[in-house]
Structure 1
Amino acid sequence: MVFLRSLASLLLISSLGLQVLAASTTTKKTTTTKTSTTKTSTKTTTTKTSTKTSSTAKATSTSSGASWSWPNWNSYSDSTDAQWQAAWNITNWAYPHTSGENHNIVANPTDSSEKVLRVFYPAGSFKPSNTPVGGIGFYASPLEIPASANTVTFTYQVYFPSGYNFVEGGKLPGLYGGHDDCSGGNDAETCFSTRNMWRTSGEGESYLYIPKDAQVSSICSNSLIICNSDYGYSVGRGTFDWTTGSWNTITQVLQLNTVGQQDGAITEVHGGSTAFSLGQLVFRQSNYGVAGIDFETFFGGSTSAWATPTDQYTYYRGLSLSYN
């Protein structure tokens, strides 16, 4: 009996083994690196590659104190929205008002054995306050990040189908801190957000809401930055391109500033190549840290010139969040 129980235990342990997710990546064609004090530009030509995810990979959400990962939606393909949203610790579903709209769990467009999140943008949609509402927006805190964390890293993969019409541009997920309304012209005096964007023809960038009066006086003379007196800072526009027909892997590395000092930094890595790095930033003016993920995606822009002319979709998988 002892022997049989030991054998059964070994078989049970073996059956619970997790398989590693092999994240698909696409590499960037051009690299531009710049700081606000030293102007340098380095261009590197690379070959774009794509690695297919193992069809047997399992979706797991783990939080080990310093990291969280969400490879795909395989474990939630037959679940209600409430179940995976609870696993993400979504603190505010911003839009659409009904949290079940504009998204579905579907087969990966490049690997039918995997389940991913698909987001819908109906024809004519732009900015969340307009009708019809396109995309989705929510704030999630799947990992408790202390204010003392120096560096926070956020990675995800996004897929734009072949023929995707980028129009004038649109928003993509990023990080946020302070409170969850750091967008739409907010003065960002008590918050920050670091969403990504696509622009015309698929140009990539980081779109920052940070306290404007606290930045170095020369910030708008930096060639990496396009300033807007009413909205956020466009940072690194065109330093990388979002590809269509294959998965894009984007990593955002945020180094929070010391309160009272202009020593924060942001680095964007697309497809394994550094797109840009920008320092001398102020993200916060008091002792708060990264609250979590600002998962927003929509066309816009605030005018109909940004609206998608047809129904369109994007897809998401391979998310992770960590700090040190």
Structure 2
Amino acid sequence: MSGETSRRALLRSSALGVLGLAGASLGGGLLTGCGSDAKPFDPASEMLPPDTATPAPAATTAAKRRTLADPAVAKEFFGEKLVPTTRASYGLDQAEVLPSDDPRFPTFLRVSIPVDVTNPQEARIYQDGPTYGGVQMFVDHTLRSPYELYFRYYLRFPENFDFGNGGRLPGFFGTIVKNRQRTETLRAGFATRFAWRDGDMGLVYANTARPDHPVNTVGKGIWRWPRGRWICVEQGVKLNFEGYANGLMLIWIDGQLVYKDQQFNPRISNDLRVGGFLVNATFGDGGASFKPPSPQTIDLAGFVYDTTRLNPLPKPESTAG
């Protein structure tokens, strides 16, 4: 045997000896750790190291709806000079505040009116009958106790709005004020809410606590409510002295005086004052036939008041080329 052959045989013999020794020490298998009680390694049980990669972003959740049910949202929408309340209210979660598509006001209120939602009977006021869907909210002003006040707001019916038989819209409400303190005797007050009947026919329901004329239908048929655009709605009320028909009601639609009553007399007490806005947007007040024929929406915006007439806001300039 040559020297080179002898050297290769020796190396092979040494390697086999080392492998045999390792096999004897491991008990015929690979161990997961040191010591005589170590168990065989199971590749299926191996724990992978933590994933240090940046996790994928979670799916974006839908933005929370901002409705009048949230007091902070209601306060922001109506502003510092109006105080939203929750007395005799309903449908606040159906009135959503959305970014405005008109530069005249930053946000607007979209009131959803589903089918076959009857409003609670205990919230009926001013001789109201059954109403369906929509919203009702008393919004107080911050003046002391005015007996003359003017308001302006904007109203929009969608292009495909189905007026059905009728419904109610925002207007003034009255309240009893004694020693400059409001009371909650709402039924002793009055309301001058805009409305529609028999399709798009405009009017005002001038409800009072007077037994001789608890419900006055004012201005019916003088104007029609258009669809698909913002409408400027204005009203002025000056209360009569008790026992005299010397009050005043004025109505402007899109800046045009459409109604004037110089014998308005809702007052049965000199303690009655203009309380603020009664924000209504609902179908009904004439029985089951006044239910909305299908789901509807009404948009409202720009609620303001003053002791003198406000006039419409300047129309936004056309962007057409």
TM-score (ref. length: structure 2): 0.62
The verdict on how the C-alpha distance between 1:305 and 1:146 changes in structure 2, with shifts beyond 3 A counting, is same
The answer to whether the Cα contact below 8 Å between 1:106 and 1:116 also exists between their aligned partners in 2 is yes
1:61-96 Cα shifts (integer Å, max 9, x gaps): xxxxxxxxxxxxxxx979982114345312334332
- The residue aligned with 1:163 is 160
120-129 vs 306-315, greater mean Cα deviation? 120-129
- The residue aligned with 1:204 is 202
Structure 2 residue 85 is matched with structure 1 residue 91: yes
| Count of residue pairs the alignment pairs up | 224
The verdict on how the C-alpha distance between 1:208 and 1:78 changes in structure 2, with shifts beyond 3 A counting, is closer
- The residue aligned with 1:264 is 247
Q: Tell me, what secondary structure is at the counterpart of 1:83?
A: helix
The answer to whether the Cα contact below 8 Å between 2:281 and 2:298 also exists between their aligned partners in 1 is no
1:220-268 Cα shifts (integer Å, max 9, x gaps): xxxxxxxxxxx62111101111110001111011011122311012111
- The residue aligned with 2:268 is 285
What is the alpha-carbon distance in structure 1 between the residues aligned to residue 108 and residue 185 of structure 2?
A: 27
Matching residue within 209, 217, 221 for 1:234: 217
Structure 2 residue 267 is matched with structure 1 residue 275: no
What is the alpha-carbon distance in structure 1 between the residues aligned to residue 68 and residue 207 of structure 2?
A: 35
Structure 2 residue 229 is matched with structure 1 residue 246: yes
The verdict on how the C-alpha distance between 1:133 and 1:198 changes in structure 2, with shifts beyond 3 A counting, is closer
Structure 1 vs Structure 2 CA RMSD: 3.1
What is the alpha-carbon distance in structure 1 between the residues aligned to residue 90 and residue 163 of structure 2?
A: 21
The amino acid across from 1:119 in the alignment is V
The answer to whether the Cα contact below 8 Å between 1:127 and 1:301 also exists between their aligned partners in 2 is no
1:161-189 Cα shifts (integer Å, max 9, x gaps): 0011000110001111126675xxxxx6x
What is the alpha-carbon distance in structure 1 between the residues aligned to residue 238 and residue 255 of structure 2?
A: 19
- The residue aligned with 1:174 is 171
Matching residue within 296, 301, 305 for 1:312: 296
Q: Tell me, what secondary structure is at the counterpart of 1:305?
A: helix
The answer to whether the Cα contact below 8 Å between 2:139 and 2:278 also exists between their aligned partners in 1 is yes
Structure 1's consecutive aligned runs of 4 or more residues displaced over 2 angstroms after TM superposition are: 76-81, 84-88, 91-97, 107-111, 124-133, 178-182, 211-215
Q: Percent identity?
A: 23
Structure 2 residue 283 is matched with structure 1 residue 299: yes
- The residue aligned with 2:137 is 138
The answer to whether the Cα contact below 8 Å between 1:196 and 1:204 also exists between their aligned partners in 2 is yes
Matches within 5 A, 1:187-198: 190-198=188-196
The answer to whether the Cα contact below 8 Å between 2:67 and 2:94 also exists between their aligned partners in 1 is no
The answer to whether the Cα contact below 8 Å between 2:193 and 2:204 also exists between their aligned partners in 1 is yes
The amino acid across from 1:85 in the alignment is A
The amino acid across from 2:85 in the alignment is T
1:165-217 Cα shifts (integer Å, max 9, x gaps): 000110001111126675xxxxx6x21111110122211111011244466xx
The answer to whether the Cα contact below 8 Å between 1:126 and 1:298 also exists between their aligned partners in 2 is no
Q: What is the CA-CA distance between 1:307 and the residue it aligns to?
A: 0.7
- Higher relative contact order (CA closer than 8 Å, sequence separation 6+): 1
The answer to whether the Cα contact below 8 Å between 2:68 and 2:74 also exists between their aligned partners in 1 is no
Matches within 5 A, 1:26-41: none
The answer to whether the Cα contact below 8 Å between 2:247 and 2:262 also exists between their aligned partners in 1 is yes
Matching residue within 87, 91, 116 for 2:108: 116
The answer to whether the Cα contact below 8 Å between 2:130 and 2:285 also exists between their aligned partners in 1 is no
Q: Which has the larger radius of gyration?
A: 2
The answer to whether the Cα contact below 8 Å between 1:253 and 1:268 also exists between their aligned partners in 2 is yes
The answer to whether the Cα contact below 8 Å between 1:152 and 1:255 also exists between their aligned partners in 2 is yes
What is the alpha-carbon distance in structure 1 between the residues aligned to residue 69 and residue 95 of structure 2?
A: 12
- The residue aligned with 1:152 is 149
The answer to whether the Cα contact below 8 Å between 2:95 and 2:112 also exists between their aligned partners in 1 is yes
The answer to whether the Cα contact below 8 Å between 2:167 and 2:284 also exists between their aligned partners in 1 is yes
What is the alpha-carbon distance in structure 2 between the residues aligned to residue 85 and residue 78 of structure 1?
A: 7
